[in-house]
Amino acid sequence: MDVDMFSRHSENGSDGFITMESFVDLCKALFLPGDLLKQELTETVFKQYNTKQDGRMTEDEFKSCWKTWIYPVLHPKTALLVVDVQNDFISGTLALKNTPSGQDGAEVVPVINKILDDWKFDLVAYSQDWHPYDHISFIDNVMLRKTHPSSKIAAQEAAVYDEIVFATEPPTVQTLWPAHCLQNSEGAKIHPNLKIFPGHILTRKGTHPEYDSYSSFFNNLGTMHTELNAILRQHHITDVFICGLAFDYCVKYTALDARKLGFGTIVIEDACRSISDEGYRTTREELHQQECLITSSEQLNLYLDRDVRHPDLAFRDISSSF
C-alpha cells in the first residue's frame, strides 16, 4: 500500500518524489473527517520525514512516514488503563478523603463505569498496588532501614507524607505512606462497584519490598518493569487512555512512562482524583510538557468516535523517531 500510494502521488511514478503539496493532498484524501487535519500539521510531518530538507520526499522517506505515522493514524488500537481503584484508596488506610485534597476516590467509579459502557477499547487493563508487609514506603517500617546522611528528616522524626532518603545503593528518595494495599488484603482489592471488563489484563506493582512503584510500567527507579508494556505491544496498541487513583502519583507516572514508551497518551481528568491540590496543578503542567493529552469523559468522542486515529495524536509519536 505504501509503494502504491507513493507511485500515485509522486512526480515521476515510483522513481520520482513527493512534493509537500502532493503530500498534503494525499493526507487530505486519507484522513477523515478532513477538518481534523490542519495543513500546518501535515507540512510539519512532511518536514520531519524529508530528512534532506529539500522539499522532495523520496520513496524511502515516504515508507518511513507510512510505517511510523500514516499507518498508525489509519489503524488505531486503544487501551483503557484503570489505575489503582482499590479499597484502601477509597475507604481504607490511604483514603483520598483523608489526604490534603480531601477528595473522594469513590467518585471515579461511576465515571469509569460509564466510560466502559459507552466506548469500545481494544484492551482494558487494571493495575493494583500489591505491597508486602515490609514495604519501603510504609511509615511503620521507617526504622527497618538505615537513613542516608543526605536525608533532611531523621527516621525517628518522620511522619506520613514526609520524604526520607534511605541508605540503599543508589540512595532511595521515598515518600512515606500509611501501610496500604497489603498483598491479599481487603484493602488491596479493586473496589467492588467498579466494572471489570471481560478479558481484561491485571497488572500488580510495588511487589518488591525495597522499591516503590507508582507507575503501572516501572518501579520508581526504572530498574524493574511489569508485563504491561509487552502486553500492549502484543495487542498492537497505539493509544492509551488513563484514569484512576491518584492523579498526582500513580496516574501521573503511568502516563509519563506510557509517553516515554511511545504510546499516544490521554489522561481522563474527571475519572481521576488527587492527593493534593498543589500536586494536581503541577501534574497538569508536567503532563502537558511531556505531550500527554488531558481530556474529560465527555470529550472522548474526539478520540474514539471515529475509525481513523486523531492525526494530532499520532503526530506526537514521530518525535520519538528522530
* Catalytically annotated residues: 84, 205, 250
Handedness of CA 101, 102, 106, 107 (dihedral sign): negative
CB 195 within 8 A of CB 111: no
> Of the candidates 143, 214, 153, which has an alpha carbon nearest to the alpha carbon of residue 181?
214
CB 239 within 8 A of CB 277: no
**Single-letter code of the amino acid located at 34:** G
Angstrom distance (rounded) from CA 12 to CA 144 = 72
CB 195 within 8 A of CB 112: yes
Angstrom distance (rounded) from CA 322 to CA 320 = 6
Query: E strands, 111-233, where?
Result: 123-129, 163-166, 172-175, 201-205
CB 133 within 8 A of CB 150: no
Angstrom distance (rounded) from CA 205 to CA 218 = 8
Beta bridge partners of 14: 12
Beta bridge partners of 203: 127
**Phi, psi for 23 (deg, rounded to 5):** -65, -45
Here the cell at position 120 is 469500545
Angstrom distance (rounded) from CA 185 to CA 130 = 9
> Of the candidates 184, 58, 48, 173, which has an alpha carbon nearest to the alpha carbon of residue 128?
184
Provide the pairing of β-strand 163-166 with 172-175.
Answer: antiparallel
Angstrom distance (rounded) from CA 259 to CA 287 = 9
